[in-house]
């Protein structure tokens, strides 16, 4: 099992992701990787991850290409050429963001932290209006009447957006729509202890490495509670 193999995984090297994966839209490619199938077998080769379709393709050494949906995969890992950076993805059952539905479907999540409480991530694409950002209009291009769009009309850029989740000890995947607020609710009786830890270590909810530390620490102080529950 991917989670068992790698135990506690803190991805503190995400700044190097651009160097280890070629990205186009929501399609990522890595030169090396392994897909762990639900049958217990595994397949090695070049990894292509289509995030929007939730589909992973692997190009085998013989050139054959095979595509897998989450239902057929326990997880997969992707590494760069020299094996310095590794990203781990796992399959979890999820309500696809519909909190009012009991229907759970398998989906891929990137595993940032593994433990009693696991930090997961999915990336989506959003369009950002940069029309009023001077950094993108260095030569002026004045604004229209009544403070409307600059001359030339609106400008948009596609940007990736991180969506974070916590895998609870019960196996439920909880989406963090408001990371700070939702985690403080999750902390429950340990909220004061967590606030002290976060303040003492100057951690920020908006920093992925810091968020990984926060979830890891919460899991470590919750172990006794989990065993007794």
pLDDT band at 32, cuts 50/70/90?
very high
Enter the tokens of residue 227.
Answer: 């065993």
Q: What is the pTM of this model?
A: 0.78
The Cβ of residue 129 has, within 10 Å, a number of other Cβ atoms equal to: 11
How large is the average pLDDT for residues 162-174?
Answer: 96
What residues does 113 pair with on adjacent strands?
119
> At residue 1, does pLDDT exceed 90?
no
> At residue 176, does pLDDT exceed 50?
yes
How large is the average pLDDT for residues 199-207?
Answer: 97
> At residue 161, does pLDDT exceed 50?
yes
The Cβ of residue 169 has, within 10 Å, a number of other Cβ atoms equal to: 16
How large is the average pLDDT for residues 143-170?
Answer: 74
Identify the pLDDT of residue 12: 33
- For 202-228, b where at least 16 C-beta lie within 10 A, e where not — what string? ebebeebbbbbbbbbbbbeebeeeeee
Average pLDDT over all residues of the chain: 82
CA atoms of 44 and 62, how far apart (whole Å) = 11
CA atoms of 141 and 143, how far apart (whole Å) = 7
Give the dihedral of Cα atoms 160, 161, 162, 165; nearest 10 deg: -130
Residue found under tokens 């193999």: 5
The Cβ of residue 36 has, within 10 Å, a number of other Cβ atoms equal to: 20
How large is the average pLDDT for residues 123-134?
Answer: 72
Contact criterion met (CB below 8 Å) for 51 and 27:
yes
pLDDT tens per residue across span 76-124 = 999 987 777 899 999 999 999 888 888 999 999 999 999 999 999 999 8
């Amino acid at each position: 099992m991917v989670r068992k193999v790698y135990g506690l995984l803190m991805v503190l090297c995400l700044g190097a992701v651009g160097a280890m994966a070629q990205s186009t839209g929501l399609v990522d490619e890595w030169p090396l990787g392994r897909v762990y199938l639900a049958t217990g077998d595994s397949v090695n080769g070049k990894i292509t991850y289509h995030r929007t379709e939730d589909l992973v393709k692997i190009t085998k050494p013989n050139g054959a290409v095979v595509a897998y949906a989450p239902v057929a995969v326990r997880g997969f890992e992707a590494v760069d050429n020299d094996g310095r950076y590794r990203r781990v993805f796992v399959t979890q059952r999820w309500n696809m963001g519909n909190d009012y539905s009991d229907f759970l479907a398998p989906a891929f999540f990137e595993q940032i932290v593994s433990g009693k409480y696991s930090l997961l991530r999915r990336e989506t694409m959003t369009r950002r209006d940069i029309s009023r950002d001077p950094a993108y209009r260095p030569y002026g291009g004045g604004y229209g009447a009544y403070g409307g769009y600059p001359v030339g009309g609106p400008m948009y850029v596609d940007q990736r957006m991180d969506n974070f989740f916590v895998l609870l000890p019960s196996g439920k995947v909880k989406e963090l729509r408001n990371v700070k607020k939702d985690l403080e609710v999750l902390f429950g009786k340990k909220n004061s202890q967590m606030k002290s830890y976060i303040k003492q270590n100057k951690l920020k909810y908006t920093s992925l490495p810091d968020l990984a530390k926060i979830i890891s620490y919460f899991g470590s102080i919750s172990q006794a509670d989990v065993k007794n529950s």
